[in-house]
């Protein structure tokens, strides 16, 4: 036997059954260990273990006194951890072993009873679900704050106009509030989606054992109730090896990032000199180390950049799962870093984007007004004007195309044409054409349900307010 084995080796051979004669190679011990990241689950591990201990006592598998000793010992570990006094190393392999070992140190041999009728497989599944439940609630609260910030901004800008684009070409002018409310709707779906996913996260695998259940007369519903799970996995194999809930969460997280990234891209464009629709405040932008005139949109750029990480984690978990035979395989240890990083990334991006909306940028309303007055984005309205007077829309559309072409050649906008010029194009034109193509009129006229007309937008604001309150 290698006499230079590190202390981890002794611990390792102590961990496993008598079947093992020699210890793990130290590099393999490090390779195998998840304590470096699953320590984040410790509070959930302790809570899950306390529920398990209570159940063991409740069902008479251990005595009431033993149950109490276990619960108290676990609580003591919680205190130690919170005070920074419990810092297990690689020799513990993972958080589950670390806790069990410390428990036995604290309460003696009874600590060795905690793992009766349980496996680390159902334990880690329980911990991960408890963790994700909390994180989902946090993200839903953050989504609400993000939505409030959007709504607040939208309320101030009902009658502020902004060019609307398709193909990134000027299309039709919009109420700025309408544009912002589009993001409100996306985040509303994100909020709802996470609520639905929560229901599938909120199912207890505890008591599935290693894969097949247990010979002990456990009560899975009792532990589920103690841990506030809405139900229990019906099949023990599925219970220990299912990670659908994590993948579903990563899908939802990816969509949140898609939405944040789209908004980021717009803010980056708007902050450019070419658009100049927003000014970035000092609190949310940085300068250049060489070009003194610059103010960079770091926040939306970072959000756009971080989006790829979350997509990557989703991809990683899908690939992780696709070839796994039932039931638990050590591959599943790889789910955690992906999940943890996605959680932190989404939470930090939501926080940063909310601050950006609340205080990091200002719309340049004069620039926006000039932008919507200096283009042909009212061309559809000329066609609609004629169509309303009985000219078939396609005919009107062709005619207006011709008008745009000749106006462009003459360096004119539609509003610059004289009434005679209009009349020579089509006799149906009258003096009210000027009002019909004024930007504010063009916007307010799009009063169809869900459209950008001011009356519609005001109703949409009220509906959004109601969603936030509900």
The nearest distance, CB 339 to ligand ARG, in angstroms, is 11
- Compose the 9-48 pattern: x for residues touching ligand ARG by CB under 6 A, - for all others: -------------------------x---x----------
Contact region for ligand ARG (CB under 6 A) — 140-148, 283-291, 325-333, 393-401?
A: 325-333
What phi and psi, each to the nearest 5 degrees, are found at residue 171?
-115, -75
Contact in structure between 52 and 118 (CB atoms under 8 Å): yes
Task: Give the span between the Cα atoms of 340 and 41, in whole angstroms.
Answer: 10
Nearer to ligand ARG, 92 or 350 (CB): 92
User: Least distance to ligand ARG from the beta carbon of 123, Å?
Assistant: 7
Of 295-303, 324-332, 357-365, 396-404, the segment contacting ligand ARG by CB under 6 A is 324-332
Q: Are strands 203-204 and 231-232 parallel, antiparallel or unpaired?
A: parallel
Under rule CB under 6 A, which residues in 262-301 are in contact with ligand ARG?
A: none
Q: Which is nearer to ligand ARG, 38 or 66 (CB)?
A: 38
What is the contact mask toward ligand ARG in residues 67 to 106, using x (rule: CB under 6 A)? ---------------------------x------------
* CA 393 to chain CA mean position, Å: 44
The smaller minimum CB distance to ligand ARG, of residues 59 and 333, is found at 333
Integer-rounded Cα radius of gyration of the chain: 31
DSSP label at residue 165: E
In this complex, which beta carbon is closest to ligand ARG, that of residue 162 or of residue 332?
332
CB of 343 to ligand ARG, least distance (A): 16
Q: Would you give the DSSP letter of residue 357?
A: I
Helix (H, G, I), strand (E, B) or coil at 158: coil
Shortest distance, CB of residue 96 to ligand ARG, whole angstroms?
6
Contact 403, 412 (CB under 8 A): no
Catalytic residue among 288, 348, 373, 426: 288
- Distance (Å, rounded) from C-alpha 34 to C-alpha 337? 10
What interhelical angle do 298-322 and 335-355 show, nearest 10? 160
Q: How many residues bind ligand ARG (CB under 6 A)?
A: 10
- Between residues 34 and 126, which has the closer beta carbon with respect to ligand ARG? 34
- Distance of closest approach, residue 34 Cβ to ligand ARG, in angstroms: 4
Cα 20 to its chain centre, rounded Å, is 44
In this complex, which beta carbon is closest to ligand ARG, that of residue 143 or of residue 247? 247
Q: Which stretch binds ligand ARG (CB under 6 A): 59-67, 109-117, 329-337, 460-468?
A: 329-337
Instruction: Write the CA distances from 296 to 21, 175, 283, 287, integer angstroms.
Output: 61, 27, 11, 6
Residue 295, CB-side half-sphere exposure with 13 Å CA sphere: 15
Q: Which stretch binds ligand ARG (CB under 6 A): 167-175, 184-192, 326-334, 348-356?
A: 326-334
Q: How far apart are the first and last CA of the chain?
A: 67
Contacts of 306 (CB under 8 A, 6+ apart): 257, 345, 348, 349
Among 280, 332, 349, 400, interactor with ligand ARG by CB under 6 A: 332
For 224-256, b/e burial (b = at least 16 CB within 10 A) is: bebbebeebbeebeebbbbbebbbbbbebbbbb
Alpha helix ranges (H) inside 323-376: 335-355, 365-373
Distance CA 378, CA 171 (A): 8
* Residue choice 8, 12, 50, 121 for contact with ligand ARG (CB under 6 A): 121
- The residue range among 75-83, 120-128, 306-314, 363-371 that interacts with ligand ARG, by the rule CB under 6 A, is 120-128
Angle (deg, nearest 10), helices 454-469 and 120-156:
140
- The vertex-380 CA angle with 376 and 383, nearest 5°, equals 120
Binding-site member from 19, 85, 167, 330 for ligand ARG (CB under 6 A): 330
From the candidates 167, 187, 285, 444, which is the catalytic residue? 167
Q: Please indicate whether residue 167 is annotated as part of the active site.
A: yes
Q: 233 and 239 in contact (C-beta within 8 Å)?
A: yes
Binding-residue pattern over the window 122 to 161 for ligand ARG, x denoting contact by CB under 6 A: --x-------------------------------------
Minimum distance between the CB of residue 330 and ligand ARG, rounded to whole angstroms? Answer: 6
Candidates 104, 155, 235, 333: give the one binding ligand ARG (CB under 6 A).
333
- In terms of CB distance, is 33 or 139 closer to ligand ARG? 33
Distance in angstroms (rounded) separating the CA atoms of residues 94 and 85: 17
**Segment near ligand ARG (CB under 6 A); pick from 66-74, 116-124, 145-153, 181-189:** 116-124
Residues in touch with ligand ARG (CB under 6 A): 34, 38, 94, 120-121, 124, 328, 330, 332-333
Active site residues: 167, 288
């Amino acid at each position: 036997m290698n006499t230079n084995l590190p202390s981890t080796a002794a611990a390792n051979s102590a961990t496993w059954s008598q079947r093992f004669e020699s210890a793990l190679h130290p590099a393999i011990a490090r390779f195998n260990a998840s304590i470096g990241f699953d320590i984040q689950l410790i509070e959930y591990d302790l809570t899950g273990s306390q529920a398990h201990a209570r159940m063991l006592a409740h069902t008479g598998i251990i005595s009431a006194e033993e149950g109490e000793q276990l619960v108290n010992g676990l609580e003591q570990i919680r205190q130690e951890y919170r005070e920074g006094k419990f810092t297990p190393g690689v020799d513990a392999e993972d958080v589950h072993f670390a806790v069990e070992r410390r428990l036995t140190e604290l309460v003696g041999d009874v600590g060795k009873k905690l793992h009766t009728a349980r496996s680390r497989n159902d334990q880690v599944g329980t911990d991960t679900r408890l963790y994700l439940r909390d994180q989902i609630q946090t993200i839903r609260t953050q989504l609400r704050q993000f939505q409030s910030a959007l709504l607040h901004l939208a309320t101030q800008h009902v009658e502020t106009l902004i060019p609307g684009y398709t193909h990134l070409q000027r299309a039709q002018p919009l109420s700025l509030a309408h544009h912002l409310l589009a993001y409100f709707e996306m985040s509303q779906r994100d909020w709802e989606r996470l609520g639905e996913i929560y229901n599938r996260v909120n199912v207890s695998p505890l008591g599935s054992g290693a894969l097949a259940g247990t010979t002990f007369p456990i009560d899975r519903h009792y532990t589920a109730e103690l841990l506030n799970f809405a139900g229990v996995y019906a099949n023990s194999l599925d219970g220990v090896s299912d990670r659908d809930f994590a993948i579903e969460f990563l899908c939802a997280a990816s969509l949140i990032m898609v939405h944040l990234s789209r908004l980021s891209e717009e803010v980056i464009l708007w902050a450019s000199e070419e658009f100049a629709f927003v000014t970035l405040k000092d609190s949310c932008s940085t300068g250049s180390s060489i070009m003194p005139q610059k103010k960079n949109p770091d926040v939306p750029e970072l959000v756009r950049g971080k989006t790829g990480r979350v997509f990557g984690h989703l991809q990683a978990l899908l690939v992780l799962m696709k070839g796994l035979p039932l039931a638990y395989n050590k591959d599943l240890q790889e789910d955690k870093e992906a999940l943890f990083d996605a959680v932190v990334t989404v939470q930090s991006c939501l926080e940063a984007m909310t601050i950006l909306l609340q205080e990091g940028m200002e719309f340049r309303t004069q620039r926006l007004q000039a932008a919507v007055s200096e283009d042909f984005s009212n061309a559809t309205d000329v066609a609609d004007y004629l169509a309303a007077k009985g000219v078939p829309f396609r005919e009107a559309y062709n005619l207006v195309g011709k008008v745009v072409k000749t106006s462009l050649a003459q360096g004119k906008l539609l509003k610059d044409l004289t009434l005679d010029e209009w009349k020579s194009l089509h006799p149906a034109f009258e003096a009210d054409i000027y009002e019909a193509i004024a930007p504010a009129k063009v916007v307010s006229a799009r009063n169809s349900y869900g459209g950008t007309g001011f009356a519609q937008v005001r109703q949409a604001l009220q509906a959004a307010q109601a969603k936030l309150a509900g």
